[in-house]
Amino acid sequence: MTVRLADRIRAERDRQFVGRSEELRVFSELLSADDSSVVAIHVHGPGGVGKTTLLRQFESVCLRIGVASLTIDARVLQPSPVSIQAALIAATASADFDEAITKIGESPRHVLFLDTYEAIEPLDGWIRDQFIPQLPANTLVVIFGRKRPSSGWRLGGWQTLARSLPLRNLDDTDIRTYLTGQFVPPVAHEAIVRFTHGFPLAMCLVADTFAQGGQVDFVRDSAPDVLSVLLERFLEGVVRPEHRDLLELCALVRITSESLISEVFGEEGASDLFRWLRGLSFMEETPFGLMPHDLARDTIASEVRWRNPDRYSELHHKARAFYADRMERATGSLQQAILFDYIYLHRDSPMMQPFFDWNSSPRAFIDIARPDDEDSIVDLVSKHEGPESGRLARFWFRNQPGSFLVIRDSEGEMGIVGLLGKVRLDLASEMEHDDPAIFAALAALQTAPLRSGEVGFHFRFWLAAEGYQSVSAIQSLIFIAIVQHNFTVPSLGVTMLSFSQPGFWEPMFDYALHRRVTEADFQVGQQKYGVFSMDWRSVPPKKWLELLSEQEAPIKERAAGPRKVNEMLVLSKEGFSRSVQDALKSFSNMNRLSENPLLGSRLIIGRIRGEADLKSKVEVLRGLIVESARTLNSSPKDAKLFQALDAGYLRPKRSQEQAAEVLDISIATFRRHLKSGTERLTGMLWQQETGV
């Protein structure tokens, strides 16, 4: 029989594993029981205590005794029921969820492991009350997470159906056994036992430190932060600069893949770097790459920000460029996943932190509103904003189906704990409704109207059931949903967001480049609302994230200037008309034409490819004006208008008097034709600009 590499890897893991005899005994007994009343086990403990290592041992137990098992790593999932079901479908190689359930039920006994449960903790109630009950009776669910089981697992019969296994530090004997297996000299064991207090991750770091730099003297047995001290000692032994750079990058990003390493450090040596990183004890494997343990991540990231902020900014920008490039080429759920990695880079932004709840993990998830959610949504809006706003929420719920997202509480009956209601401005007509918010928004848009094919949204209603529009975990979920929405909607033109207390939020939205639009402010009942707006035609979402990153982590010095981009300028109808007139008057003057706002309009940007220089844009503008003007010459009725434009601007004579003389018309007639021709030409170009 051929020995697979997986078998050798598993054997080495078994060799290094020490302790946890009680946990292994309990798990083995539950597997062998003919009719166990326990259907779920919660293995919980702090980060670094060895939960994932124990999970691997549980998998080995299943393999040895012939019990089928599946493992779902929650770190790579979105906290939504669809994501959990999709993971189970993929793990069982099924076509749908029903087929996955059927396949699991075909085994006499089956174990489903859920690792890093805190990542999907918002779904705790749904997993307990809906997901697990759907599984076949032969299934044992084993949950690995940092927190002890919530109170819901001690009610409604779960107190006998679920069992809790708290993990604690290893005892002295286990520590010495582990150190011996890692070839740490016995003379150092006593100091290490005192220093690590049996903390498994600390023990692994000790072994890494010895392997990296040899003997280490542990004298600070009362260190306030064992892990920080160990990482400091470990980093002292990392002598190769590329290894230190790689650790710093790994601490900054969510997941480190070989492709990311290749992008940041170059293709040569990327495989060796990834292999070295993979061998470190505090690195954890996921289906998409490597993740450092959270404690290691925080320690390394803090150290590099303090020691070398310029280096931190440089890595930030390189990682951002990698995600931006992939996000531009991705679609659907893959694009959302890449966006999540991009947003992760900004978790430490000092400007954003006060306006997000970064520490709480609500037991809730984002979902599309269902028809039977209508009354609950109306009740929540009415509660916080009054009955008139509730009536308007019902109107939009019915007239723009799919316009509401809800935040569902995964505990109990999964009630709605937050909501986000958006109105399509390009589909809304002032004559169709009496909503002051949309009436004001459409009026404000007249200065730079949406063009044909462009869509606009007013995030008309957003709130948390408790706390309304104050900073909270629910509010943070809503804001993230808005960012994801803006990146996934094709042809997005403009978005608007309304706030009952705009003054509080103004610093954040000013930082986020959203303009305060007072002309879009409105009042419903006694409550006044302020509005912030973003024109995505002038700053597309990708460029917007680049600008935010530049504000947060500017590079002190760059070898080359910033990459040029063709940014679009959104002109009002009046501004567009003035720009056309200026372009005609300066048609033969390259310098003046190079300053014309039309060069940044969709009229021109849509006709060039890549990074066109200024001269190329001017030539496109001149060619477009001549081409459009010549269409007038195809009609005998309008030929006189083209002749006036040609003699007055395109191939101008020394004066209008000479132009009138050449055309054999009076100066008054010439000027009338020139004015009419300019208006007709402006109208044709505006139609091309807006598509209307």
CB of 105 closer than 8 Å to CB of 138: yes
Q: Which residues contact 465 (CB under 8 A, 6 or more apart)?
A: 380, 415, 416, 417, 418, 474
Instruction: With residue 41 as reference, give the H or E element that holds it.
Output: strand 40-44
Asked whether the predicted pLDDT for residue 663 surpasses 50, the reply is: yes
Residues above pLDDT 70, as percent of the chain = 84
- Are residues 613 and 681 both part of a single domain? yes
Q: Which of 293, 296, 256 is nearest to 276 (CA)?
A: 256
- Structural domain for 437, as ranges: 353-546
- Are residues 370 and 491 both part of a single domain? yes
Residues above pLDDT 90, as percent of the chain = 24
- Are residues 116 and 248 both part of a single domain? no
103 domain residue, yes or no: yes
Q: Is the dihedral of CA 89, 90, 92, 96 positive or negative?
A: positive
Asked whether the predicted pLDDT for residue 129 surpasses 70, the reply is: yes
Q: What is the mean pLDDT of residues 116-131?
A: 88
Q: Which residues contact 462 (CB under 8 A, 6 or more apart)?
A: 418, 419, 420, 421, 469, 478, 497
Question: How many Cβ atoms from other residues are within 10 Å of residue 180's Cβ?
Answer: 13
Asked whether the predicted pLDDT for residue 585 surpasses 80, the reply is: yes
Asked whether the predicted pLDDT for residue 308 surpasses 50, the reply is: yes
| Domain count for the chain | 5
pLDDT band at 220 (very low <50, low <70, confident <90, very high): very low
For position 215, what pLDDT does the model report?
Answer: 55
Q: Which of residues 378 and 572 earns the better pLDDT score? A: 378
- Residue 82 has, within 13 A of its CA and on its CB side, a CA count of 6
Q: Which of 181, 211, 236 is the last residue of a domain?
A: 236
pLDDT tens digits, one per residue of 142-158: 999 877 888 888 887 88
Q: Which of residues 11 and 631 earns the better pLDDT score? A: 631
551 domain residue, yes or no: no
For position 235, what pLDDT does the model report?
Answer: 65
Query: DSSP labels for 506-560?
Result: HHHHHHTTPEE-GGG-EEETTEEEEEEEEETTTS-HHHHHHHHHHHHS--S--SS
Q: Which of 539, 552, 490, 502 is nearest to 343 (CA)?
A: 552
pLDDT band at 559 (very low <50, low <70, confident <90, very high): very low
CATH code (residue 71): 3.40.50.300
Q: What is the mean pLDDT of residues 319-341?
A: 74
pLDDT tens digits, one per residue of 631-650: 988 888 889 999 999 998 99
pLDDT band at 669 (very low <50, low <70, confident <90, very high): very high
Helices (H), 162-293: 172-181, 189-196, 200-213, 226-236, 241-252, 258-265, 270-278
For position 352, what pLDDT does the model report?
Answer: 67
- Are residues 579 and 447 both part of a single domain? no
- Are residues 357 and 491 both part of a single domain? yes
Query: DSSP labels for 262-287?
Result: HHHH-STTHHHHHHHHHTSTTEEEET
For position 555, what pLDDT does the model report?
Answer: 46
Q: Which of 320, 344, 368 is the last residue of a domain?
A: 344
Asked whether the predicted pLDDT for residue 519 surpasses 90, the reply is: yes
Highest mean pLDDT among 208-222, 236-250, 383-397, 398-412: 383-397
Asked whether the predicted pLDDT for residue 560 surpasses 70, the reply is: no
Q: Which of 536, 532, 557 is nearest to 547 (CA)?
A: 536
User: CA 146 to CA 44: how far, in whole Å?
Assistant: 5
**What would the two tokens of residue 429 be?**
């007509």
pLDDT tens digits, one per residue of 397-442: 999 988 999 998 876 555 899 999 999 998 886 545 689 999 999 9
- Are residues 153 and 181 both part of a single domain? no
650 domain residue, yes or no: yes
- Are residues 578 and 673 both part of a single domain? yes
Q: Which of residues 143 and 188 earns the better pLDDT score? A: 143
Q: Is the dihedral of CA 502, 507, 511, 515 positive or negative?
A: positive
CB of 457 closer than 8 Å to CB of 423: yes
Asked whether the predicted pLDDT for residue 510 surpasses 70, the reply is: yes
Lookup result for tokens 């002598």: 239
158 domain residue, yes or no: yes
Q: Which of 166, 188, 212 is the last residue of a domain?
A: 166
Lookup result for tokens 């991540």: 297
User: CA 62 to CA 54: how far, in whole Å?
Assistant: 13
Helices (H), 108-163: 124-126, 132-134, 158-161
Q: What DSSP designation does 187 have? A: G
User: CA 152 to CA 312: how far, in whole Å?
Assistant: 43
The region of weakest confidence among 3-17, 46-60, 539-553 is: 3-17
pLDDT band at 229 (very low <50, low <70, confident <90, very high): low
212 domain residue, yes or no: yes
CB of 160 closer than 8 Å to CB of 126: no
The region of weakest confidence among 217-231, 279-293, 314-328 is: 217-231
User: CA 128 to CA 116: how far, in whole Å?
Assistant: 16
User: CA 379 to CA 383: how far, in whole Å?
Assistant: 6
User: CA 6 to CA 3: how far, in whole Å?
Assistant: 8
pLDDT band at 539 (very low <50, low <70, confident <90, very high): confident
User: CA 395 to CA 403: how far, in whole Å?
Assistant: 11
For position 295, what pLDDT does the model report?
Answer: 62
Q: What is the mean pLDDT of residues 203-207?
A: 74
Work out the mean pLDDT of the chain and round it to a whole number.
82
554 domain residue, yes or no: no
pLDDT band at 558 (very low <50, low <70, confident <90, very high): very low
| Distance spanning both ends of the chain, measured CA to CA | 72
For position 553, what pLDDT does the model report?
Answer: 57
pLDDT tens digits, one per residue of 442-454: 989 887 888 777 8
- Are residues 61 and 207 both part of a single domain? no
- Are residues 413 and 277 both part of a single domain? no
pLDDT tens digits, one per residue of 86-117: 999 999 999 999 999 999 999 889 999 999 89
pLDDT band at 287 (very low <50, low <70, confident <90, very high): confident
Q: Which of residues 473 and 36 earns the better pLDDT score? A: 473
Q: Which of residues 412 and 335 earns the better pLDDT score? A: 335
Helices (H), 631-666: 639-645, 656-663
Q: What is the mean pLDDT of residues 110-130?
A: 89
User: CA 378 to CA 356: how far, in whole Å?
Assistant: 26
For position 451, what pLDDT does the model report?
Answer: 78
Question: How many Cβ atoms from other residues are within 10 Å of residue 523's Cβ?
Answer: 11
Q: Which of residues 513 and 387 earns the better pLDDT score? A: 387
What is the crossing angle of helices 200-213 and 172-181, to 10°?
Answer: 30
Q: Which of 494, 492, 493, 497 is nearest to 522 (CA)?
A: 497
For position 34, what pLDDT does the model report?
Answer: 66
562 domain residue, yes or no: no
**What would the two tokens of residue 321 be?**
């460029």
- Are residues 161 and 188 both part of a single domain? no
CB of 408 closer than 8 Å to CB of 417: yes
- Are residues 186 and 257 both part of a single domain? no
User: CA 290 to CA 304: how far, in whole Å?
Assistant: 19
- Are residues 106 and 140 both part of a single domain? yes
- Tell me how long the chain is: 692
Q: Which of residues 571 and 634 earns the better pLDDT score? A: 634
663 domain residue, yes or no: yes
